[in-house]
Chains A and B, each alone.
Chain A
Amino acid sequence: MSEFVRPLSKEEFEENFSQIKPIMNDTEAYLESSRCLFCYDAPCVTACPSGIDIPLFIRQINTKNITGAAKTIYEANYLGNTCGKVCPTEVLCEGACVFNHQNVKPLEIGRLQSFSTTNAIERGVELCYVREDKNKKVAIIGAGPSGISCACELRKEGFEVDIYEAKSQPSGLALHGVAPYKITNKEVLTEMNYLKNQFGYKVLYNTPIDSKDKITALEAKYDAIFIGVGLGKSKSISIKGETNINVYGAVEFIEKLKLQHQEVFLGKKAIVLGGGNTAMDAASECARMGVGSVVLAYRGSEKYMSAYAFEYDLAKAVGVKGLFNTLPVEILEEKGKLVGVRFINTAYENGELVAISGTEFIEECDMVIMATGQSKKVDFLAWIDHLSLDKESRIEVNEKFQTTNKKYFAAGDAVNGGAEVVNAVSDAKRAAQEIKVYLSK
């Protein structure tokens, strides 16, 4: 049983989804920053995909140079505030902090990071980076973390930038995907707004690039194009019953929840299929929405789940029950109503997962969430000439983030197949530097 009751008001929603990494106050930040050892060749920095100079910004907090701390962070990572809150720090910077070797709690790097950047955003600290006009124009498709990061870096270098975004708001999955207890929508959008004011790129909302003609038009108008479109819809696993209206794709379910909060109506018993981080998020979110029983069903064993251990811990902490070695066979309906899932137990034989016949059982439920991966945007990508995809339909890029069509660069989920915000941000920043080199030839 989960301990949450269904939230009916904005306040109740916020309580159920209270921030697991709340913003520190000055005292907390000061005391925490005092602990940092200022390690040489600090392992926390190596572990950060965006390479933020962590000991430097922590020392800057400690010497009350918060503006300096924020600048240090933004110099390496344009979504510094968002990353501080949503990064899986347990397996990145904080997981690498030397204090772990002493069995002492590592520095709370993520929270110190968001402390500095939130403070800077609130005060409108000028990052004052923008260089002289280069008289070249770059189009960016997608205003997600990768697109925004690329835009900031290009603006800093003096390029004109227009971002084309299908949705009505920026930041992609940071807004539409990341769990509400990690970051609030307001926090995400406030940073977006800050960056836009600082760097002055243009975003055209509700403007999907959804035809070959639009692609051709972009190519005519711009000197280079960056693709930051992320991934597509949740994948289906093609089992009977999956078209029932109470079967949701995880990303679609989460997006709806993120935009409508307590207005979303859910059932009493949910089964989440999958073993990745998105599955953990979806299960946690159901529990926090007051769904009485939430079962997470994974076809393999617990230790083979791709989700981070801490994400599963988070789900368990809110009452999610794990069911392992269970393969869904069929989603059961009675007169169109979803009533359960038929599973079959599995086992590993010579490293392969196989169903064990005769072990079928039924788990009752009134809703199912399929967290079995996201598809790739293959239709869209097919409109771009000479653009190669790899075996898993990820955009192929060289070490310069340039695609097989020289005019196009790409980074983020569409290239790495789905990673974290920080990877998208950091790779897109590097891609922008390569675009600069390409355009100065």
Chain B
Amino acid sequence: MSDLSINFAGIKAPNPFWLASAPPTNSGYQIMKAFDQGWGGAVWKTLGVPVINVSSRYGGLDYRGTRMMGFNNIELITDRPLKDNLKEIEEVKKHFPDHAVIASLMVETREEWHQIVRDVENAGADGLELNFGCPHGMCERGMGSAVGQEPEVIKMIVGWVKEVAKTPVIVKLTPNITDITVAGLASVQGGGDAISLINTIQSIIGVDIDNFVSYPNVGGESTNGGYCGPAVKPIALNMLKNCAQHPYINLPISGIGGIENWKDAVEYILLGAGSVQVCTAVMHYGFGIIREMIAGLEQYMDQKGFKTIDDMVGKALPKIKTWENLNLNHKVVAEINNSKCIECQLCYTACEDGAHQAIGINKEETRVPYIIEENCVGCNLCSLVCPVEGCITMKRKDNGKEVITWKEKTMAGDVPTTFDDERAGGAGHHVPKPADALKK
């Protein structure tokens, strides 16, 4: 049986599933309920300077039949009194000494940072998370992402916190920055013990086209918010990879963004996350989703023979390279399994109009399209649009023996150099004549 327990930068938890700092961690009541149902840790809703919230606060992005594929909020940090939160942290720790309770913090001055760090540690927090990420409201007051976008300020504040902190310090990064590793590096330089990413992405979720107001609507007006939920996962995964592969960011990373099921969590862990945090999925489905996540992760670990979470962390990183190191000789072409095809011809139109005119149809005989192998560049598009699992597969055509990369070619002086260089990839490709487009 696999062991799900973790030690993340010195913070111990029975499993890597933590609640992200957000409405699900607003109160001791919610966190106790979550721990009772199986969550391993919780990052308390950010504590700090006093705020007032607006109503409404959220917007959702639906995709076809699916609600809330993306989620947007203009909520600020906690609006509950600090003393109530501190009392509740103490109480949660009393009931759940082995679960991770991490206090998320956001204040302004050095004195305020020192004070609040002492307060939450006295209340029993196992660690601290510095919220340098909130991309709305708080940043207008010089906090949140306004800090996260300034490496020097990150370094300085992490330094302030480290002056008094006795528990591990996690720096939560904002994705609203050109290169997240700059912020990651600043966290290292400031003396941080770990980083977490991502916070929400600045966004406008949609516009009410009848009333000319974007969402969410606050009395006929709106503001930009923070985007999260399943839609942001790919962006977060890339930022995770960038930090995890960075030679000087050698800190544990807590992965956040669009995690909803065990598979999402495994992907994060394989790309270097030592714990994962969840917000939107819990806001959508409640704490109960943890039963699917834990069962699925255990099942996966048993199947793959992983004994501990540490065995898995970063497993997929060595295979992510820079583009110039990929094998240019690797060649795949699409193949249609005629017996599985349901004749929708989505692959045809995708390739014909959206890619390389490498799929043909023969109206007289059958609706099943065929691949024109000479034209197929192996882009995958058809296999991605095909609604039938395993119907279009990519078949390997090279022998796998001769590996050549752009980097090697460059070093050997064998790369195309002029616009019309014959050595460029597309030079030999078949493209129909423009006028053929008008043939009916």
Residues of chain A whose beta carbon lies under 8 Å from any beta carbon of chain B: 26-27, 30, 34-35, 38, 40, 53, 55-56, 59-60, 62-65, 67-68, 71-72
Q: Is A27 within 8 A of B296, CB to CB? A: no
B285 contacts which chain A residues (CB < 8 A)?
Answer: 38, 40
Q: Is A63 within 8 A of B261, CB to CB? A: yes
Chain A min CB distance to B293 (Å): 9
Once bound together, how far apart are the Cα atoms of A26 and B387, in whole Å?
12
**Other than the known A34-B66, A63-B262, what 7 A-B pairs have Cβ atoms closer than 8 Å?**
A38-B289, A56-B295, A63-B292, A65-B300, A67-B299, A68-B295, A72-B295
B387 contacts which chain A residues (CB < 8 A)?
Answer: 27
Once bound together, how far apart are the Cα atoms of A231 and B288, in whole Å?
41
8 Å CB contact of B292 from A27, A35, A56, A71: A56
Q: Indicate whether B10 reaches chain A with its CB closer than 8 angstroms.
A: no
Chain B min CB distance to A423 (Å): 26
Q: Indicate whether B97 reaches chain A with its CB closer than 8 angstroms.
A: no
Once bound together, how far apart are the Cα atoms of A54 and B261, in whole Å?
16
Residues of chain B whose beta carbon lies under 8 Å from any beta carbon of chain A: 65-66, 261-263, 285-286, 288-289, 291-292, 295-296, 299-300, 303, 387-389
Residue in chain A with minimal CB distance to B390: A26
A68 contacts which chain B residues (CB < 8 A)?
Answer: 292, 295-296, 299
A27 contacts which chain B residues (CB < 8 A)?
Answer: 387-389
Q: Is B263 within 8 A of A30, CB to CB? A: no
Once bound together, how far apart are the Cα atoms of A60 and B374, in whole Å?
41
Once bound together, how far apart are the Cα atoms of A35 and B64, in whole Å?
11
8 Å CB contact of B288 from A30, A40, A63, A71: A40
B288 contacts which chain A residues (CB < 8 A)?
Answer: 38, 40, 55
B292 contacts which chain A residues (CB < 8 A)?
Answer: 56, 59-60, 63, 65, 68
Q: Is A60 within 8 A of B295, CB to CB? A: yes
B299 contacts which chain A residues (CB < 8 A)?
Answer: 65, 67-68
Q: Is B65 within 8 A of A35, CB to CB? A: yes
**Known interface pairs A59-B261, A63-B296, A65-B262. Does A30 touch B389 (Cβ–Cβ under 8 Å)?**
yes
Instruction: Name A's interface SS.
Output: helix
A55 contacts which chain B residues (CB < 8 A)?
Answer: 288
Q: Give 23 CB contacts A-B under 8 Å.
A: A26-B389, A27-B387, A27-B388, A27-B389, A34-B65, A34-B66, A38-B288, A38-B289, A40-B286, A53-B291, A55-B288, A56-B291, A56-B292, A59-B289, A59-B292, A60-B292, A60-B296, A63-B261, A63-B262, A64-B263, A65-B262, A67-B299, A71-B295
Residue in chain B with minimal CB distance to A38: B285
A65 contacts which chain B residues (CB < 8 A)?
Answer: 262, 292, 295-296, 299-300
Once bound together, how far apart are the Cα atoms of A62 and B299, in whole Å?
15
Chain A min CB distance to B299 (Å): 5
Most buried by A among B285, B295, B387: B295
Chain B min CB distance to A28 (Å): 10
B263 contacts which chain A residues (CB < 8 A)?
Answer: 63-64
A60 contacts which chain B residues (CB < 8 A)?
Answer: 292, 295-296
Chain A min CB distance to B332 (Å): 23
Closest 10 CB pairs of A and B: A63-B261, A65-B296, A59-B292, A38-B285, A68-B299, A68-B295, A63-B263, A27-B389, A40-B286, A56-B291
B262 contacts which chain A residues (CB < 8 A)?
Answer: 63, 65
Once bound together, how far apart are the Cα atoms of A26 and B389, in whole Å?
8
Once bound together, how far apart are the Cα atoms of A30 and B388, in whole Å?
11
Chain B min CB distance to A24 (Å): 13
Chain A min CB distance to B179 (Å): 33
Once bound together, how far apart are the Cα atoms of A355 and B235, in whole Å?
77
Residue in chain B with minimal CB distance to A58: B292
Once bound together, how far apart are the Cα atoms of A63 and B266, in whole Å?
12
A72 contacts which chain B residues (CB < 8 A)?
Answer: 295
A62 contacts which chain B residues (CB < 8 A)?
Answer: 261
B261 contacts which chain A residues (CB < 8 A)?
Answer: 59, 62-63
Once bound together, how far apart are the Cα atoms of A238 and B437, in whole Å?
83
A40 contacts which chain B residues (CB < 8 A)?
Answer: 285-286, 288
Once bound together, how far apart are the Cα atoms of A56 and B288, in whole Å?
9
Once bound together, how far apart are the Cα atoms of A59 and B65, in whole Å?
16
A59 contacts which chain B residues (CB < 8 A)?
Answer: 261, 289, 292
Residue in chain B with minimal CB distance to A40: B286
Once bound together, how far apart are the Cα atoms of A371 and B314, in whole Å?
66
Once bound together, how far apart are the Cα atoms of A308 and B185, in whole Å?
68
Once bound together, how far apart are the Cα atoms of A56 and B296, in whole Å?
11
A34 contacts which chain B residues (CB < 8 A)?
Answer: 65-66
B65 contacts which chain A residues (CB < 8 A)?
Answer: 34-35
Residue in chain A with minimal CB distance to B295: A68
Once bound together, how far apart are the Cα atoms of A65 and B299, in whole Å?
8
Once bound together, how far apart are the Cα atoms of A72 and B289, in whole Å?
14
Once bound together, how far apart are the Cα atoms of A67 and B302, in whole Å?
12
Residue in chain A with minimal CB distance to B391: A27
A71 contacts which chain B residues (CB < 8 A)?
Answer: 295
Residue in chain A with minimal CB distance to B264: A63
Once bound together, how far apart are the Cα atoms of A30 and B291, in whole Å?
19
Most buried by A among B263, B292, B387, B388: B292
Once bound together, how far apart are the Cα atoms of A64 and B300, in whole Å?
11
Chain B min CB distance to A68 (Å): 5
Once bound together, how far apart are the Cα atoms of A59 and B264, in whole Å?
13
A53 contacts which chain B residues (CB < 8 A)?
Answer: 291
B303 contacts which chain A residues (CB < 8 A)?
Answer: 67
Residue in chain A with minimal CB distance to B298: A68
Once bound together, how far apart are the Cα atoms of A71 and B296, in whole Å?
11
A67 contacts which chain B residues (CB < 8 A)?
Answer: 299, 303
Chain A min CB distance to B85 (Å): 26
Chain A min CB distance to B305 (Å): 15
Chain A min CB distance to B393 (Å): 15
B291 contacts which chain A residues (CB < 8 A)?
Answer: 53, 56
Once bound together, how far apart are the Cα atoms of A67 and B292, in whole Å?
12
Once bound together, how far apart are the Cα atoms of A391 and B291, in whole Å?
45
A56 contacts which chain B residues (CB < 8 A)?
Answer: 291-292, 295
Once bound together, how far apart are the Cα atoms of A38 and B296, in whole Å?
16
